[in-house]
Amino acid sequence: MRVMDKRPKVTRRRVLGAGAASLVALTVIPGGIIVGAGNAWSATAKALKPNTFATLLQMARDIYPHDHVADKHYAGVVSSFDDAATKGEADKAVFEDGVTALDAAAVKAHGAPYAEVRWEAQRVALLRGIEKDPFFQRVRGALIGGLYGNAEVWPLFGYEGPSASKGGYIDRGFDDIDWL
């Protein structure tokens, strides 16, 4: 049967295995420019503090962890939060205050801000503590549309996207299952 190659087509940093210390690797350059490891991606924090941007990125990875999906796809959604923050103080406060509180909880529990807590399980436990909050739900809800709705990630999941322009699947494997 015809199967999709789910391997990423671009080089990217190696992430460590599930549950390991999969911290996002990035560099903040003065001026608010954030550069991913190996220059794989970059973003500019226009309204949010660079640290807030970085923490939201780590949080995004921890909410919907996919080890084969590169940071840049999560960073795209975080950039949309930055866009919202440039347009309104209320939106900006949601993210800045949310991250400040999350960092405070992380420092209390582990002696380090959220994005420096080394184990995913420890970070997830911190997120469980705030999962009902509007801040968390805002981040989570945006990821559902922004991450999984991004056509660039679809091949990584074996989802082939639009088919009409290719004549559908009638000659491209709609019934090609061969292992039953």
Partner 1 sequence: MAKFDLKDDSVVVVIGSGAGGGTLGSQLAQHGVRTVIMEAGGRHEIEDFDNDEWGMFGKISWLDKRTTSGSWRVAKDFSGLPAWIVKAVGGSTVHWAGASLRFQEHEWKVRTHYGNIPGANLLDWPIDANEMAPWYAKAEDNLGVTRTNGIPGLPGNNNFKIMKAGADKLGYKECHTGRMAINSEPRHGRGSCQQLGFCFQGCKTGAKWSTLYVDIPNGEKTGKLEVRANSQVLKIEHDKSGKVTGVLYADKKGKQHVQKARVVCVAGNSYESPRLLLNSASSMFPDGLANSSGQVGKNYMRHMTGSVYALFDKPVNMHRGTTMAGIIMDEGKHNPKRGFVGGYEMETLSLGLPFMAAFLDPGAWGREFTTALDSYDHMAGMWLVGEDMPQEKNAVTLHPTEKDQFGLPVPNVHFDDHANDTAMRSHAYKQGAAVYDAVGATRTFPTPPYPSTHNLGTNRMSAKASDGVVNKWGQTHDIKNLFVSDGSQFTTGAAENPTLTIVALAMRQADRIAREMKKKHI
Stretch that binds partner 1, among 30-38, 41-49, 104-112, 165-173 (CB under 8 A): 165-173
Q: In this chain, which of 26, 54, 63, 117 binds partner 1, going by CB under 8 A?
A: 63
Residue pair 107/117 in contact by the 8 Å Cβ criterion: no
- CB 77, min distance to partner 1, A: 12
Stretch that binds partner 1, among 73-81, 89-97, 109-117, 164-172 (CB under 8 A): 164-172
- CB 162, min distance to partner 1, A: 3
CA dihedral 102, 117, 26, 64 (to 10 degrees): -70
Q: Tokens 């295995």 belong to which residue? A: 17
Q: In this chain, which of 12, 40, 65, 133 binds partner 1, going by CB under 8 A?
A: 65
Q: In this chain, which of 32, 40, 49, 64 binds partner 1, going by CB under 8 A?
A: 64
Distance CA 35, CA 39 (A): 6
Polymer length of the chain = 180
Residue pair 57/74 in contact by the 8 Å Cβ criterion: yes
* Residues touching partner 1, count (CB under 8 A): 43
Does 90 bind partner 1 (CB under 8 A)? Our answer is no
- CB 63, min distance to partner 1, A: 5
Does 177 bind partner 1 (CB under 8 A)? Our answer is yes
DSSP 16-68: PPTTS--PPPEEEETTTEEEEGGG--EEE-SSS-HHHHHHHHHHHHHHS--TT
Does 179 bind partner 1 (CB under 8 A)? Our answer is yes
**Binding stretches for partner 1 (CB under 8 A):** 1-4, 6, 18-19, 63-66, 68, 124, 131, 140, 144-145, 147-149, 153-154, 157-165, 167-170, 172-177, 179-180
